[in-house]
Structure 1
Amino acid sequence: MAKATMEFVVEMKCESCETSIRNALSKLDNIDILSVDLKYQRLVVSSSLPSTKVLQTIESTGKRAVLQGLGDKKINSAAVCMMSNANSKGVTRLVQMENESCIIEGTIDGLRPKTMHKLFVHELGDLSEGCQSCGDIFQKNQKSFYPVVEAESSNNGRLEFRVEKDKFPIYSLIGRSLVLHDSAKNRQVCGIIARSSGLFENTKRICACDGVTVWDERDVPLAGPERSQCPNGNCKK
């Protein structure tokens, strides 16, 4: 499996913080620490592991962390798909590598336990009627992107995956959708594929639109009024 470069912002303030994080990551296989910047609280690694695994390992030291960039240094093209319905929610990330290969990784929660699922690219990025309005499975040059992922959900209804696909150009997928099907071909959860920040393209620490800081980002809903830290104009102190 090819390695992707991952950029994290990490709540570290001293050399002992850096040492703790280095020691934790050194216990993982297939990972290289490329740089640690205490001033800007930035950690950059190269790994064939899922970014969620790396993130969990960093946070096992007691330091909060957020993935801010994912990509290949030479290509630096990436996309993200936030997937949700009434019961399930997750995120799928796509990273373009050399020769149009692509790393696809994701985590989706709230699925039926111990059930096979298949993830497809669909033609349309239309969620007006949920997953039913996403159109048919996308085909390029009469060849279907079929399936992107095929995996079984865990005992607690979580689906985690990391695969590498050949001839999978991200530029042709932006604005389309990813749809997860169950074994009966029912559409379970979906989202629109959008361009995401590549390496070193996202330097913000606070969202100007709703006041959510990078440290609180992982603790609040992805959207809706509950996302803001200042509901009705009353900021939490």
Structure 2
Amino acid sequence: MTCDGCAKDVSGALYKLDGITKVEANHKDQLVRIEGTGAAVSILETYHQRKEERDQVPDHEKSREVRGLARMVEVSKTVTLVDLTLRGVAPGTYRATIREYGDLKDGASSTGPVWKGDLTAPSPELKGAVRGELGTVEIGPDGRGSIFLDRPFQVWEVIGHAFAVSAQAETTTTGGGGGGAQGLQNDENTVVGVIARSAGMWDNDKTVCSCTGKTLWEERKDEVKKGMI
């Protein structure tokens, strides 16, 4: 933002989103404060995924494009909020899960069963529960859907684990002992990534990338061309 006009344009675009109740845009401080009840990712979508930028992504890199965003905020030692939004997948009911492993070398199929979290469970009653089962999200005809929920784990417990969203019923593998762990198979509508720690609010207040000297918006355009955003 370079002037008050920019700040007004940003505020106007954000007020069009569902659930936004208050926007304060300050071009001098380069800050936008937002209050509301909508999914956090909808704010990013006012800037991201413009059609002309999507057209720049080569076909062979389309499989790497981002099709969802999950944000986790730990509010206590027993409760973490999960804000999940998906886009660009087929309509239907999808299951969101945290997986036992963070191994993506073979895609979703190498992430293992759903994470149980017995080793780090803070209380006896949580041992034996499958804490990695997050819930379901309904994807509409436009290929978009979102959920906001809370689950009994701390963020540090799941960092490095895979986060998967899939419409498939998990298959059961068999081994020498009979029944085996359940797992996902790769398909075009299964979305998977690895959970990583992010900075807290205002903890990463930079506008220029120290690696290249480019602004974050310039860096973003480079990543869009690579199919990474």
Q: TM-score range by the shorter chain?
A: 0.5 to 0.7
Matching residue within 123, 128, 138 for 1:152: 138
CA separation of 1:34 and 1:28: change in aligned 2, threshold 3 A: closer
Letter in structure 2 aligned against 1:183: Q
Letter in structure 2 aligned against 1:45: I
Displacement of 1:207 after TM fit?
A: 2.9
**Partner SS for 1:125:** coil
The answer on 1:104 being equivalent to 2:90 is no
Matching residue within 111, 120, 143 for 2:129: 143
What residue in structure 2 maps to residue 41 of structure 1?
30
Provide the TM-score with structure 1 as the length reference.
Answer: 0.64
Q: Give unpaired runs (5+ residues) of structure 2.
A: 48-60, 118-126, 171-183
**Partner SS for 2:196:** strand
Matching residue within 86, 93, 116 for 2:71: 93
Q: Which has the higher strand share?
A: 1
Displacement of 1:47 after TM fit?
A: 2.2
C-alpha separation in 2, matches of 1:27 and 1:109: 19
- Where has structure 1 moved over 4 Å in runs of 4 or more? 23-30
* Deviation string, structure 1 residues 40-60 (Cα, Å, up to 9, x no partner): 311122322112323445x5x
* Deviation string, structure 1 residues 111-167 (Cα, Å, up to 9, x no partner): 2x22221010111111122212212111132211253131232324x3431312142
C-alpha separation in 2, matches of 1:138 and 1:164: 17
Displacement of 1:27 after TM fit?
A: 5.7
C-alpha separation in 1, matches of 2:151 and 2:102: 23
Matching residue within 111, 117, 120 for 2:94: 117
C-alpha separation in 2, matches of 1:150 and 1:100: 21
Q: Which has the higher helix share?
A: 2
Contact 1:87 1:110 in 2 (8 A): no
Provide the TM-score with structure 2 as the length reference.
Answer: 0.66
C-alpha separation in 1, matches of 2:224 and 2:112: 25
Displacement of 1:29 after TM fit?
A: 6.0
What residue in structure 2 maps to residue 180 of structure 1?
165
Q: Give unpaired runs (5+ residues) of structure 1.
A: 1-11, 60-83, 228-237
Percent identity over the alignment?
24
CA separation of 1:197 and 1:30: change in aligned 2, threshold 3 A: same
Query: Which of the pair has more CA radius of gyration?
Result: 2
C-alpha separation in 2, matches of 1:131 and 1:120: 11
C-alpha separation in 2, matches of 1:25 and 1:85: 28
Letter in structure 2 aligned against 1:119: A
What residue in structure 2 maps to residue 195 of structure 1?
197
- RMSD value over aligned CA atoms? 3.3
CA separation of 1:45 and 1:132: change in aligned 2, threshold 3 A: same
What residue in structure 2 maps to residue 74 of structure 1?
none
Matching residue within 79, 101, 105 for 1:128: 105
Matching residue within 45, 53, 57 for 2:42: 53
Contact 1:126 1:133 in 2 (8 A): yes
Contact 1:104 1:163 in 2 (8 A): yes
Letter in structure 2 aligned against 1:190: V
CA separation of 1:25 and 1:88: change in aligned 2, threshold 3 A: closer
